[in-house]
A = this chain, B = another copy of it.
Amino acid sequence: MTRAALAAKAPEERRERIMLATIAVVRERGFAGTRVADIALEAGTSQGLVLYHFGSLAGALAACLTMLEDEFYDDFAQHLAAENGPVERLRFMAELAAGRGAAVGNWGLWLELWARALRDPDSRAVRESQDRRWRTVLRRVVDEGVADGSFSPSSAAKSVLRLAALMDGLAVQLALNEPGMTTRKFTELWWDSAVLELGITEPAKRGKTPR
C-alpha cells in the first residue's frame, strides 16, 4: 500500500495540503509577506504545483481565505448549538472571540483582512460575509434572550452593532498584545458591556469568571 496508496489519493490531498500550508504561512508572515516559494516549501511540493492548482499566488490566497472562513464558522456553529440558553450562548461567544477554539491566532489574520479589504474585493467580500454571519448569530441569541426574558435591551439592533464592534476593537488590542490586554480581560470587558447593554440580571454560569 505504502507508496502506491499514498500516490493514489494524492491529487486532492495534495491540494488540501497546499491550502493548509498557505494558511500557515500567511499566519506567520502575513499576506504581503507570503511567497509562492514559502507555500511550496511548507507544503513539501514544488512551486509549480501551487500554480497548477490555484492558477496564481492570488488564487491560492483567495482559496485560503474562504477556507478560513468556513473553518471558523463551522467550528463555531457546532459548539454554539451545544449551549443551553441565551445567556450561556452569549457567554460562549465572548469566550470564543477572546481566543478559544478556532479563533486562536486568527485575530491577526482578521486585522490583515480588514486592511486588505480596503483594496481587494475578494477580501472585502470575505470580511463582509464573516461579519454578517457573526452579527446574525449574535442577533439571534439576543432575540432569544429577549423572548425568554433574560435580556431587555433598549434597542436590540443597536446593541448588536455595538457589541460586535466592541469585539473588533478589543481584538485589535489583543492581536497586538497591548500590554494589559489578555484573553481574560477581553472576555471580562466585553461581558460587562453586554450586561450593561442587554440588562442581563442572571449571572453567567459558564466559564471560570473567577480571579
Contacts and interface: CB of A to CB of B under 8 A. Distances in A.
A166 interface: yes
Interface in A119-162: 119, 124, 127-128, 131, 158, 161-162
B111 A114 contact: yes
A189 B176 contact: no
Contacts of A38: none
Nearest to A131: B178
B169 A30 contact: no
A172 interface: yes
Contacts of A30: 115, 118-119
7 contacts: A30-B118, A108-B118, A114-B114, A114-B115, A115-B115, A131-B178, A165-B169
